[in-house]
């Protein structure tokens, strides 16, 4: 565009405007050639590109250009390393530039509400703070190179079952504290070029038509200045969607949507001014992204593969290492078992499926790094007809070696975009081989490849070492070999809890819902928030992960500054970390908070800060984490805002959510919370409020009945509204007096009329 957006807007006809708010093909925006407005391309995402210049589809059926397949989100989230995500983001942007792609459709930052969600492999965590920080890393990495992102799927898209129709019924506090904060963080910190709305309904309205989500929260509260694009096919009613805040429908319903928009303008149902606003946002995106069309660049596939390998190694979580069976001793003979070692599963299926530039396998990579490796397939994936023979062979190879490494995992048919799992078990044929091999040689290392958590109790009982490698991308095998041999010291930490059993997960009773409705009955308590609140034992807790070295933390200090009243409260938490073991390694310092006395229910711990440090043996460092006011707040449904309550807060710092050896209790001062008193407030509420008590006493002095005169009676009738008590005769002031007292209360507390808030 050589002219300004204002000038273009003035020139556009109504049908051009209507067309611009829909795409022109599966991946392209609409071009207006006569005004020099080109089309730009948007394509998947999130852990590698799926650019389909010829034929578009949304589940990866058609071929796409070769691209580096980086570790999937579940994997790379385990790095707890936003800087690594930034580097991967920069590489993704370079690949986008090389194929003239302007916007990458990712990252996916939905919460892992249930272990069963088929797309969990595409999402970071069960914790919104961690997901938000990682999202900032990758978005800033991509956008620093002039390529846009699409943070998805906004919002409450936490299952695949009936994902286009299901109504996610979630209370506002759970949305604000669990399902929205990762979006809020990345929007306010990094202004992604686009946000993708989800398929599902949120509290009765499709996300694409949800004004509260798309306009009030996203734009008005968070200040989003980019474009809202629909998930592919998520627009059900074109005009209401446009009205609610959706700028761009993808892919377009050609021959239908633009016509509907024009008809609505002609009928006076949609103002042209509002349409102009949406068109302006589309033009701004095109103007941001069109420089990519001119580029003639390449990417360095070798360098990106090397980065994918480093990222894969950082994604590995060492869950168990009894008798220090890992790293593999240099002279040991190793039996490497499992079809997945030869035919790796390294990514998930669906719209995120990348056509990789190359793929490593563990047989080759471990053999290259270790002298004596003897392979046996052990089990079949898909075709299991020869399992008995494979198992016998695996047992004899296992007997012949000093150590056994067996790769187990979920076949692609177990988890994917498009459907949810129904259980968390590993395939039975793999568990059979595991038990046969464990009998033959107990010096056993299990490597898991899976996009979402599995039940691991049986595996961990049989294995000495347990290595969670996730779906680690095209270079996963190299990364795993690096960890097994000790070339790289594992530093991954779980971004999601491994429960013992599916039934322990708090969403179990309400997942995936039925009759097109899913109720988020567990509220805030997903992931460790649920397991911790219910004091459930888990297989491996959130934040957990071992290393080939050990770490200690000491000297926790917390200093509080700022003021709740003006939103500047900060708690600076510092702690000394020491590498107390024999080799260099990285550790993640994690800080959680708890408000032991609160007027509302709260989780017993919530992650509010973390930092990853790399230390040589015996090296120490002092790290500082700044927890801001939001870290101490909850979303008050009553007040419709974030609230910090005065009093004690506990800050726990340590190694993972269930090993937090350092604790400090701090006192936070905050303005008192004043739920507005009205005639319908209860006697207890009036009694709990100092000014309420004062007013009742004054009224009593003037001759009105004093409802506080008898403490025992107050206990019995205290939960009744004052207006009800007034009807009981001499138990409370009469209606007129109550109204007068409520008005006086508002004057003295400088509190607006509650009706004013209700009318917002
Ligand atoms: C997925 C999105 C994806 C889009 C385009 C949809 O089905 O939910 O994540 O970006 O297709 O492929």
Which pLDDT score, from 0 to 100, does residue 674 have?
80
What angle separates helix 301-315 from helix 82-98, to the nearest 10 degrees? 150
CA distances from 297 to 42, 45, 86, 100 (A): 18, 20, 20, 9
Q: Are 125 and 132 in contact (CB under 8 A)?
A: no
- What is the mean pLDDT of the segment spanning 127-145? 98
Distance CA 447, CA 463 (A): 10
Whether residue 45 has its Cβ less than 6 Å from ligand 1? yes
- What is the mean pLDDT of the segment spanning 285-295? 97
Confidence of residue 62 (pLDDT cuts 50, 70, 90): low
Which pLDDT score, from 0 to 100, does residue 752 have?
57
Q: How many CA atoms lie within 13 A of 392 on its CB side?
A: 3
Region label for 729, one of left (φ > 0), alpha (ψ between -120 and 50) or beta (otherwise): left
- DSSP assigned state of 502: G
In the predicted structure, residue 54 carries a pLDDT above the cut 80: no
In the predicted structure, residue 2 carries a pLDDT above the cut 90: no
**Which residues neighbour 428 within 8 Å (Cβ) at sequence distance 6 or greater?**
none
Which pLDDT score, from 0 to 100, does residue 223 have?
98
28-43 pLDDT, tens digit each: 999 999 999 999 999 9
Q: How many CA atoms lie within 13 A of 276 on its CB side?
A: 12
Distance CA 492, CA 483 (A): 11
53 compared with 612, residue with greater pLDDT: 612
Whether residue 351 has its Cβ less than 6 Å from ligand 1? yes
Atom nearest to 105 CA in ligand 1: 10
Beta bridge partners of 628: 570
SS (H, E, C) 275-308: HHHHHHHHHHHHHHHHHHHHCCCCCCHHHHHHHH
- What is the mean pLDDT of the segment spanning 506-515? 97
Confidence of residue 751 (pLDDT cuts 50, 70, 90): low
CB count, 10 Å around CB of 697? Answer: 12
Active site residue 231: yes
420-472 pLDDT, tens digit each: 999 999 999 999 999 999 999 999 999 999 999 999 999 999 999 999 999 99
As a whole-number percent, the residues of the chain with pLDDT over 90 amount to 94
**Which residues neighbour 521 within 8 Å (Cβ) at sequence distance 6 or greater?**
507, 509, 510
Whether residue 655 has its Cβ less than 6 Å from ligand 1? no
Helix or strand run (H / E) with residue 576: strand 570-579
Q: What are phi and psi of 126, to 5 degrees?
A: -90, -5
CA distances from 395 to 37, 343, 405 (A): 65, 20, 12
Atom nearest to 59 CA in ligand 1: 12
Tokens (6 digits) for 1 = 């565009």
In the predicted structure, residue 720 carries a pLDDT above the cut 80: yes
Whether residue 231 has its Cβ less than 6 Å from ligand 1? yes
Q: What are phi and psi of 603, to 5 degrees?
A: -60, 155
- What is the mean pLDDT of the segment spanning 245-265? 96
Task: Say how many Å lie between the CA of residue 58 and the centre of ligand 1.
Answer: 6
Distance CA 663, CA 594 (A): 11
CB count, 10 Å around CB of 617? Answer: 14
- Cis amide prior to 616 (ω within 30 degrees): no
Mean pLDDT, the chain, whole residue set: 96
Tokens (6 digits) for 119 = 């797309």
Per-position b or e across 476-501, b if 16+ CB within 10 A of its CB: bbbbbbbbbbbebbbbbbbbbbbbbe
Whether residue 232 has its Cβ less than 6 Å from ligand 1? yes
- What is the mean pLDDT of the segment spanning 134-162? 98
Q: Which of 188, 153, 143, 165 is nearest to 73 (CA)?
A: 153
Measured in whole angstroms, how far is the alpha carbon of residue 184 from the centre of its chain? 11
3-state secondary structure of 434: helix
Q: Angle at Cα 560 formed by Cα 557 and Cα 565, nearest 5°?
A: 165
The active-site residue out of 231, 243, 387, 482 is 231
Per-position b or e across 306-315, b if 16+ CB within 10 A of its CB: ebbbbbbbbb
Q: Are 588 and 543 in contact (CB under 8 A)?
A: yes
Mutate which of 231, 234, 350, 416 for ligand 1 pocket (most atoms within 8 A of beta carbon): 231
Task: Say how many Å lie between the CA of residue 55 and the centre of ligand 1.
Answer: 15
Which pLDDT score, from 0 to 100, does residue 731 have?
87
Q: Are 471 and 121 in contact (CB under 8 A)?
A: yes
In the predicted structure, residue 754 carries a pLDDT above the cut 90: no
Which pLDDT score, from 0 to 100, does residue 61 have?
61
Q: What are phi and psi of 531, to 5 degrees?
A: -60, -40
Distance CA 473, CA 4 (A): 43
Helix or strand run (H / E) with residue 739: helix 735-749
Task: Say how many Å lie between the CA of residue 119 and the centre of ligand 1.
Answer: 11
- Model-level pTM? 0.96
Distance CA 522, CA 535 (A): 15
As a whole-number percent, the residues of the chain with pLDDT over 70 amount to 97
CA-CA-CA-CA torsion for 241, 107, 473, 66, nearest 10 degrees? Answer: 60
163-215 pLDDT, tens digit each: 999 999 999 999 999 999 999 999 999 999 999 999 999 999 999 999 999 99
CA-nearest residue for atom 6, ligand 1, is 232
Whether residue 352 has its Cβ less than 6 Å from ligand 1? no
3-state secondary structure of 384: coil
Which pLDDT score, from 0 to 100, does residue 173 have?
98
Beta bridge partners of 606: 593
- What is the mean pLDDT of the segment spanning 92-119? 98
Helix or strand run (H / E) with residue 634: strand 634-636
Q: Are 480 and 312 in contact (CB under 8 A)?
A: yes
- Cis amide prior to 46 (ω within 30 degrees): yes
Q: Which of 454, 552, 495 is nearest to 316 (CA)?
A: 495
Helices (H) and strands (E) in the chain, counts: 26, 24
Distance CA 520, CA 353 (A): 29
């Amino acid at each position: 565009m050589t002219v300004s957006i204002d000038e273009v807007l003035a020139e556009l006809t109504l049908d051009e405007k209507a067309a611009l708010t829909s795409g022109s093909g599966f991946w392209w925006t609409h071009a207006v050639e006569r005004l020099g407005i080109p089309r730009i391309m948007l394509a998947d995402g999130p852990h590698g590109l799926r650019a389909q210049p010829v034929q578009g589809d949304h589940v990866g059926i058609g071929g796409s250009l070769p691209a580096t397949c980086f570790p999937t989100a579940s994997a790379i989230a385990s790095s707890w390393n936003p800087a690594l995500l930034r580097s991967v983001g920069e590489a993704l942007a370079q690949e986008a530039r090389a194929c003239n792609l302007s916007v990458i459709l990712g990252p996916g930052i939905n919460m892992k509400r249930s272990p069963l969600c088929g797309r969990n492999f595409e999402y970071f965590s069960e914790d919104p703070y961690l997901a938000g920080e990682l999202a900032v890393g990758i978005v800033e990495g991509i956008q620093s190179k002039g390529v846009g992102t699409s943070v998805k799927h906004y919002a409450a898209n936490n299952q695949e079952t009936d994902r286009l129709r299901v109504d996610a019924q979630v209370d506002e506090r759970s949305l604000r504290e669990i399902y929205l904060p990762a979006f809020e963080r990345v929007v306010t910190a990094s202004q992604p070029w686009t946000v993708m709305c989800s398929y599902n309904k949120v509290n009765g309205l499709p996300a694409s038509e949800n004004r509260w989500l798309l306009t009030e929260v996203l734009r008005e509260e968070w200040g989003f200045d980019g474009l809202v694009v629909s998930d592919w096919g998520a627009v059900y009613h074109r005009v209401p969607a446009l009205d609610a805040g959706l700028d761009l429908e993808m892919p377009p319903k050609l021959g239908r949507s633009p016509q509907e928009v024009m008809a609505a303008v002609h009928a006076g149902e949609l103002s042209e001014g509002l349409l102009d606003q949406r068109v302006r946002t589309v033009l701004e995106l095109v103007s941001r992204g069109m420089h990519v069309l001119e580029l003639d660049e390449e990417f360095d596939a070798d360098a990106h593969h090397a980065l994918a390998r480093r990222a894969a190694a950082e994604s590995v979580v060492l869950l168990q290492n009894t008798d220090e069976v890992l790293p593999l001793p240099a002279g040991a003979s190793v039996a490497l078992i499992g079809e997945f070692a030869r035919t790796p599963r390294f990514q998930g299926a669906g719209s995120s499926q990348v056509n990789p530039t190359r793929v490593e396998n563990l047989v080759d990579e471990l053999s290259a790094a270790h002298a004596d490796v003897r392979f046996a397939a052990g089990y079949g994936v898909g075709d299991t007809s020869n399992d008995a023979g494979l198992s016998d062979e695996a047992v004899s190879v296992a007997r012949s070696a000093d150590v056994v490494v067996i790769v187990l995992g979920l076949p692609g048919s177990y988890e994917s975009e498009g459907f949810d799992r129904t259980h968390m078990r590993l395939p039975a044929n793999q568990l059979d081989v595991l038990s046969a091999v464990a009998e033959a040689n107990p010096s056993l290392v299990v490597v898991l490849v899976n996009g979402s958590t599995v039940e691991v109790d049986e595996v961990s009982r049989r294995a000495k070492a347990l290595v969670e490698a996730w779906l680690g991308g095209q270079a996963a095998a190299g990364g795993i070999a690096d960890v097994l041999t000790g070339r790289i010291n594992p530093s991954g930490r779980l971004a999601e809890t491994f429960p013992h059993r599916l039934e322990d997960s708090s969403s179990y009773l309400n997942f995936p819902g039925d009759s097109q409705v899913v109720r988020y009955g567990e509220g805030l308590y997903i992931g460790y928030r649920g397991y911790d609140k219910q004091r459930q034992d888990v297989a491996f807790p959130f934040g957990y992960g071992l290393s080939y070295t050990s770490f200690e933390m000491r000297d926790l200090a917390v200093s509080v500054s700022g003021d709740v009243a003006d939103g500047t409260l900060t708690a600076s938490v510092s702690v000394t970390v020491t590498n107390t073991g024999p080799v260099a390694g990285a550790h993640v310092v994690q800080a959680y908070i708890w408000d032991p006395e609160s007027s509302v229910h709260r989780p017993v711990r919530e992650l509010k800060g973390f930092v990853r440090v790399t230390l040589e043996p015996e090296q120490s460092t002092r790290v500082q984490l700044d927890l801001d006011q939001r870290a101490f707040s909850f979303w008050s449904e009553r007040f419709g805002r974030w609230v910090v309550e005065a009093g004690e807060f506990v800050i726990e710092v340590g190694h993972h959510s269930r090993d937090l050896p350092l604790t400090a209790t701090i006192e936070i001062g905050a303005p008192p919370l004043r739920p507005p008193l009205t005639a319908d407030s209860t006697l207890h509420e009036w009694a709990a409020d100092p000014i309420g008590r004062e007013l009742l006493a004054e009224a009593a002095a003037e001759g009105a009945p004093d409802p506080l005169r008898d403490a025992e009676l107050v206990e019995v009738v205290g939960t009744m509204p004052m207006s009800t008590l007034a009807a009981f005769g001499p138990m409370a002031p009469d209606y007129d007096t109550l109204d007068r007292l409520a008005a006086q209360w508002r004057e003295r507390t400088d509190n607006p009329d509650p009706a004013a808030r209700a009318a917002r």
